[in-house]
Amino acid sequence: MTRSAELLPENVDSAVDLAGIPLRNPVLTASGTFGYGAEFSPFLDLTRIGGFVAKSLTLEPRFGNPPPRIAEAPSALLNAISLENVGVEAFVREKLPALPEGVTIIASIFETSIEGYGEVAKRLTGVPRVAGLEVNASCPHVEAGGIEFGQSPSVLAELVRTVRRSTDVPLLVKLSPNVTSISEMAKVCEAEGADGISLINAVQALEVDVETRRPVLANRLGGLSGPAIRPIALRMVWQAAQAVSIPICGIGGIASAEDAVKFLLCGATAVQVGTSNYLNPAVAGEIADGIVAYAARHGFAKVAELTGALLDPVGPPQS
Amino acid sequence: MVKTPRSPSGPGEPVPEPLRAGATVLEVLDEGGANRRIRVRVEGWPGFAAGQFVMIGAGPVMAAPRTDPLLPRPMAIYREIDGSGSPDLEILFKVGGRGTALLSEARAGDVVSLVGPLGTPFPGAIPGEQAILVGGGTGVASIYQLARERTRVRDGSVSVLFGARSAGDLMGVDDFEALDAVAVSIATEDGSRGSSGLVTDLLAAALADGIDSSRARVYACGPVGMMRRAAEVAKTHGIGCVVSLENHMACGFGVCLGCAAPLSAGGFGLVCREGPVFDAEAVAWEGLP
Ligand SMILES: Cc1cc2nc3c(=O)[nH]c(=O)nc-3n(C[C@H](O)[C@H](O)[C@H](O)COP(=O)(O)OP(=O)(O)OC[C@H]3O[C@@H](n4cnc5c(N)ncnc54)[C@H](O)[C@@H]3O)c2cc1C
Ligand SMILES: Cc1cc2nc3c(=O)[nH]c(=O)nc-3n(C[C@H](O)[C@H](O)[C@H](O)COP(=O)(O)O)c2cc1C
Ligand code: FES
């Protein structure tokens, strides 16, 4: 399908539907990189973006890891923050009311047990401002010896099943990239009733200081994010899009509208901007505008038509 | 959002709302050794309070986006200087790694990304305050504005103690000496300027010299070991100590949770938001890297 006629940006419909969550445009911001939203109001009109995913919540407030928690890596950030968050009660009572009307909010949940995830999901169900839930499956599963929930198909299946039973709000499952087959994990989520999937979370990584001969992070291992992981994330989104028919939210190293469009073309319905928010707290708004400009330039009357519009002369993709 | 006045200096006054801007580089001056002074112009700069900082891009914005080094660098706002219309900003920094090396190569007219002013400023002075400011290495950049403001405290006094490895590492000494009514002392580890030894030894000597502990307060910024020692020295004389921490940061405005410092009351404080200024007693020093 080639398109020729250019359109004016104001004639492009930017709205998308992500797993039953109506978004004004396909640009969300990623959990853990956007705080609880209000921190960005000096820099960005929050109604300019599709919405945001709040920092992952546990049942009780939690502290994170000792410092150093972050380090720079080539075109990337390495972090080991762990579970630090205000807890679900404070989120509902203090953080949500601080946000202006018209901002689409997706709450993210994590816990160290499957039952814990179910409890947090229940607590957030029926809360008026919460448009959807995202299950962060990149959390160490204590019972399973610390491997991530999202690293075992059977554990992931049980997790999604439990959360699905606990809530009727639109449910996204955020996948860990630290797996052999992302397609298999995507299928598990679809089979257990997830409305959509988000990928990827940070890539497990290690960095060392040769002068001190120590790992740079106190936690030793951390999650790599930022531009360095973008092609890995794009590959995984492309593979997951072949495997499932539920919508996909693409995440990983997005720094520009061009980056975001790549994810849409590879099958994502929406995207999340993460680490780039730290470098430029207004970047998500600029990306939203840039996607519309791209659609106009290429003659797409609806941004939603960009999803899966990759031209692939080689034929059906190999998994 | 409430508009706030420029450069608040009293306790409890609201700090200006931060902005994100492309700052235009006016000049980068060689201050000797690895030290540099960068002057930038920020359209709409809202002012700042002593102790606040900015996140500044690791080098100028290029025609093609650069992703490496990725993170902006936290830098104290050294002072404002007269600009056209609104004041220009001055930052003193030391070239250490790649980000500061790129920043040192910026030329007049280049644009660097900037977010600020950020962080919680120094507290207001106690009545008649005898302020003893201790700056180790680049830490002196965080206390210039404070020294300037404390000279206006009625019946107060200001002394600034500089510490550096060697004479060539000292920054800003002339600016501090040019301030009225500020007593400057210097210690270098190799004895190449001022007294030979650590700046905390200078502090111990200054406090042993008879000081009114009810009016004295120590302010310290520099390496963790230096700040910790300064706080101990102050405490043995029954004097309070305020420190400005320099943890690694990714965002600078409270969202990445990367800059957390362990607190003596348990848990963590965000250096970029609750800090960088902390009461030394509130910090769990043994947990700081
Ligand atoms: C609130 C605050 C105010 C500061 N004010 C000044 C100032 O006025 N003048 C000045 O010269 N320096 C100041 N620093 C320290 C300055 O941020 C570092 O020297 C600088 O980030 C090093 O960058 P680089 O590219 O040289 O080093 P690299 O080694 O390339 O840096 C790699 C990463 O580590 C971080 N990092 C390395 N050293 C430090 C450090 N000492 N503190 C914090 N982060 C570090 C960098 O920000 C970057 O993310 C301040 C730090 C903080 C937190
Ligand atoms: C400091 C930091 C904290 C994060 N915290 C969370 C979190 O709480 N929950 C979550 O699902 N993802 C978290 N993430 C992962 C991001 O949401 C995102 O999936 C990842 O960073 C990749 O996107 P990016 O390259 O655009 O940053 C965090 C990432 C960073 C850098
Ligand atoms: S630097 Fe990001 S929270 Fe402090």
- The predicted-structure confidence for A13-58, as pLDDT tens digits, reads as follows 999 999 999 999 999 999 999 999 999 999 999 999 999 999 999 9
Percent of chain A with pLDDT over 70: 95
Minimal-distance CA residue to ligand 2 atom 28: A32
Distance CA B145, CA A285 (A): 35
For the beta carbon of residue B187, count every other beta carbon within 10 angstroms. 23
**Start-end of H helices in B160-282:** 173-178, 199-208, 224-236
Distance CA B246, CA A124 (A): 37
Overall fold of domain B2-118:
Elongation Factor Tu (Ef-tu); domain 3 (2.40.30)
Which of B71, B100, B102 to mutate: most A Cβ within 10 Å? Answer: B71
> Residue B44 contacts by C-beta under 8 Å, 6 or more apart in sequence?
B19, B21, B86
Residue A218 inside a domain? The answer is: no
What is the predicted ipTM? 0.94
Q: Is residue B15 a contact partner of residue B117, using CB atoms and an 8 Å limit?
A: yes
* Shortest distance, CA A190 to any CA of chain B (angstroms): 31
The DSSP element (H or E) to which A108 belongs, if any, is strand A105-109
Q: Which CATH class is domain B130-239?
A: alpha beta
Note whether A278 contacts B256, CB cutoff 8 Å.
yes
Which residues of chain B carry a pLDDT beneath 50?
Answer: 1-10
Note whether A77 contacts B262, CB cutoff 8 Å.
no
Closest CA to A285 of A44, A14, A24, A38: A44
A194-236 pLDDT tens trace: 999 999 999 999 999 999 999 999 999 999 999 999 999 999 9
Quote the number of domains for chain A: 1
> Residue A102 contacts by C-beta under 8 Å, 6 or more apart in sequence?
A47
Confidence at A144, pLDDT banded by 50, 70, 90:
low
* Shortest distance, CA A227 to any CA of chain B (angstroms): 7
B72 prior amide bond cis, ω within 30: no
Minimal-distance CA residue to ligand 1 atom 34: B248
Contacts of B18 in chain A (CB under 8 A): 42-43
| Cross-strand pairs, B24 | B41, B111
Residue A146 pLDDT greater than 90, yes or no: no
Confidence at A309, pLDDT banded by 50, 70, 90:
very high
> Is B260's Cβ below 8 Å from some Cβ in A?
yes
> Is B19's Cβ below 8 Å from some Cβ in A?
yes
Residue A142 pLDDT greater than 80, yes or no: no
> Is A108's Cβ below 8 Å from some Cβ in B?
no
> What count of residues does chain A have?
319
A235-271 pLDDT tens trace: 999 999 999 999 999 999 999 999 999 999 999 999 9
**Start-end of H helices in chain B:** 98-104, 144-150, 173-178, 199-208, 224-236
Cα dist. B260→A76, A102, A264, B248, B270 in Å?
20, 32, 35, 9, 5
Domain B245-289, what architecture? Answer: Ribbon (2.10)
Residue A265 inside a domain? The answer is: yes
Q: How far is the CA of B260 from the centre of ligand 3 (A)?
A: 7
Contacts of A64 in chain B (CB under 8 A): 257, 260, 268
> Is A43's Cβ below 8 Å from some Cβ in B?
yes
Q: Is residue B181 a contact partner of residue B147, using CB atoms and an 8 Å limit?
A: no
pLDDT of the residue at B210: 76
Closest CA to B207 of B240, B173, B179: B240
Q: How far is the CA of A311 from the centre of ligand 2 (A)?
A: 30
Minimal-distance CA residue to ligand 1 atom 11: B93
Residue A199 inside a domain? The answer is: yes
| Cross-strand pairs, A13 | A302
Residues with a CB atom less than 6 Å from ligand 3: B 249-252, 254-259, 270, 272
Residue A117, SS3? helix
**Closest ligand 2 atom, residue B257 Cα:** 1
Contacts of B261 in chain A (CB under 8 A): 67
Residue A3 pLDDT greater than 90, yes or no: no
| Locus of tokens 């060689």 | B30
> Is B44's Cβ below 8 Å from some Cβ in A?
no
Distance CA A281, CA A286 (A): 10
Record the pTM: 0.95
pLDDT of the residue at A4: 59
For the beta carbon of residue B168, count every other beta carbon within 10 angstroms. 16
Residue A96 inside a domain? The answer is: yes
pLDDT of the residue at A315: 60
Residue A76 inside a domain? The answer is: no
* Shortest distance, CA B102 to any CA of chain A (angstroms): 15
Note whether A280 contacts B20, CB cutoff 8 Å.
yes
Domain extent for A176: 9-65+82-206+223-306
pLDDT of the residue at B219: 98
pLDDT of the residue at B86: 79
- Domain residue ranges of chain B, discontinuous segments joined by +: 2-118, 130-239, 245-289
Note whether B268 contacts A72, CB cutoff 8 Å.
no
pLDDT of the residue at A314: 64
Report, as an integer, the average pLDDT of A131-135. Answer: 98
Q: Mean pLDDT check: name the lowest of A175-179, A309-313, B201-205.
A: A309-313
Distance CA B223, CA B246 (A): 8
Q: Is residue A137 a contact partner of residue A174, using CB atoms and an 8 Å limit?
A: yes
Distance CA B153, CA A262 (A): 59
pLDDT of the residue at B17: 95
Residue A93 inside a domain? The answer is: yes
Closest CA to A285 of A104, A48, A29: A48
Report, as an integer, the average pLDDT of A164-170. Answer: 97
Residue A71 inside a domain? The answer is: no
